[in-house]
Structure 1
Amino acid sequence: MMSDRYCILLRHGDYHQLPATPSAHQPFGLTSLGLQQAAESVNAIREMVDAQGWTLHHEVHSSSLLRAWQTASVAMEGLSECDRIVTSDSLTERCVGSAANLTREQIVAAVAQDPRLDPLPDDWKTNSHFRLPFVGAESLMDSGRRVADYLTRTMIQIDRSGHAVLVFAHGASLRHAAHVLGVLPFDRIAQLSMYHATPVALSVSSDGVWRHAAGQWKNRHKQLEPLD
């Protein structure tokens, strides 16, 4: 509906990351494939916006992590309507706190060595409600609420119907945010992912109701462990 405003979500492109390390706050940039994906996102964004008759907002929003900012920067080069990137820590992926950039084995060992802590559950990395017992750590749902709050605040400031705001962030926190906003049922979060640098649009009505508007989530193969 043209009375709605639109939020176009994009997961960053493929990036360099440490092996077997669940911290999604790694400070590394895009791979050559990721840069290609970011460049190719321009056509997908343009096709979506033109097909729906939307107008791109001049400000682009991005997670403060390098891979998301790079994806936004490359995409913006091909989008003449967009002239500014607003970066925010509020759009980052789930934080594992003081366990940042430890391997999975090191995290398990650190918990085992602390006599105050119970052993980690088997699904500690993928359980949406589980929070590692470390300073600064979040659950996946915590990150989803954080991102949902940011999206809500951002869209309140967009007072023109039919306008679409680009948001470059991370797959897991975006999916959990979509659940918090009432777009995805909880059991769909783990079943879905996001394609790199491929738009999924949500609409928000004047009375604050969010819906899926355009673009496709990625169906996740059951044997694959969820990543950001």
Structure 2
Amino acid sequence: MTDRFAILVRHAAYHQKPGTPSALQPFGLTDAGKEQAMAAGREVAALAQSQKWRLAGEIFCSRQLRAWQTATLLSHSLSDATGLDLRIKEDEALAERSVGALANLTIPEIERTLQEDPRYQIPPENWKADSHYRLPAQGAESLLEAGTRVADFLKNRLSVLNNLADANAQVFVGHGAALRHAAHHLGVLGFEDIRRLSMHHARPVVLKRAQDKTWHHHTGAWKERSLLENTTD
């Protein structure tokens, strides 16, 4: 077994509803986001050439439009640069942390809904950035739970690559917070780094699964989060 590489790409910039958890927002990329996605394909092609990676023919993405569009545009420019025949495969395992039945409500609307429901307490302050907190709504999960889901998917897909002699690297297009929490579960990021770091839109961060099955940051820069930056992904 040789080293395997997970090329992680956060979706490009999109038309996000303000003040609203981003998980299941159904909106597409902005014009700038489309340019970012095309540039990502060229960047992955250059990395693959310099690192001598053999890219798998499938690009995995979440089912959100912004991720699918990013993966699709990335695949076009990557194919142009490499001649590869690439396929897009959507999988819910790559989604951002779900807020369940409260999806696409603003943060004040979520808090007011819970305040008016006699079964629940008002969420703690800054609940959205709390890695451990899960909203008391059907289908909701914590950021750490979302990270476990994504980490398991990455491990399973790179295990499949072990059986493909012609590929040792695969592209995954997902969402910043879920990808960072996955990196924590894989032993790549310390817990304190999850909030300190973010991901640039459509800029690859590459993790290596070594022959001993340990995971490491290989290349690509995390985004340093400013003190005043909102924790939205």
Q: Which category of TM-score, normalised to the shorter sequence, fits these structures?
A: over 0.9
Picking from 186, 191, 195, the partner of 2:196 is 191
User: Is 1:4–1:162's contact at 8 Å kept on the other side of the alignment?
Assistant: no
Q: Offset at 1:22?
A: 1.3
Given the alignment of the two structures, is residue 25 of structure 1 paired with residue 24 of structure 2, yes or no?
Answer: yes
Given the alignment of the two structures, is residue 55 of structure 1 paired with residue 46 of structure 2, yes or no?
Answer: no
Runs of at least 5 residues in structure 1 that lack an aligned partner in the other structure: none
Structure 2 residue aligned with 1:115: 118
User: Is 2:6–2:158's contact at 8 Å kept on the other side of the alignment?
Assistant: yes
Identity %: 45
Q: Could you tell me how far apart the structure 2 residues matched to 1:158 and 1:127 are?
A: 34
Q: Which amino acid aligns with 1:180?
A: H
Moved over 4 A (4+): none
Runs of at least 5 residues in structure 2 that lack an aligned partner in the other structure: none
- The structure in which a higher percent of residues are helix is 2
Given the alignment of the two structures, is residue 170 of structure 1 paired with residue 169 of structure 2, yes or no?
Answer: no
Structure 2 residue aligned with 1:38: 37
1:99-110 matched pairs, under 5 angstroms = 99-110=102-113
1:1-228 matched pairs, under 5 angstroms = 3-79=2-78, 80-159=83-162, 160=165, 163-228=168-233
Q: Which amino acid aligns with 1:196?
A: H
Q: 2:128 aligns to what SS in structure 1?
A: coil
Q: Could you tell me how far apart the structure 1 residues matched to 2:120 and 2:40 are?
A: 44
Q: 1:197 to 1:146 in 2, by over 3 A?
A: same
Q: Offset at 1:161?
A: 8.4
Q: Which amino acid aligns with 2:211?
A: S
Q: Offset at 1:162?
A: 6.8
TM-score (norm 1): 0.96
Q: Offset at 1:117?
A: 1.6
What is the root-mean-square deviation of aligned Cα atoms in Å?
Answer: 1.4
TM-score (norm 2): 0.94
Q: Could you tell me how far apart the structure 2 residues matched to 1:59 and 1:41 are?
A: 16
Q: Could you tell me how far apart the structure 2 residues matched to 1:207 and 1:16 are?
A: 42
Q: Which amino acid aligns with 1:225?
A: N
Q: 1:9 aligns to what SS in structure 2?
A: strand
Q: Could you tell me how far apart the structure 2 residues matched to 1:211 and 1:202 are?
A: 6
Q: Could you tell me how far apart the structure 1 residues matched to 2:88 and 2:35 are?
A: 20
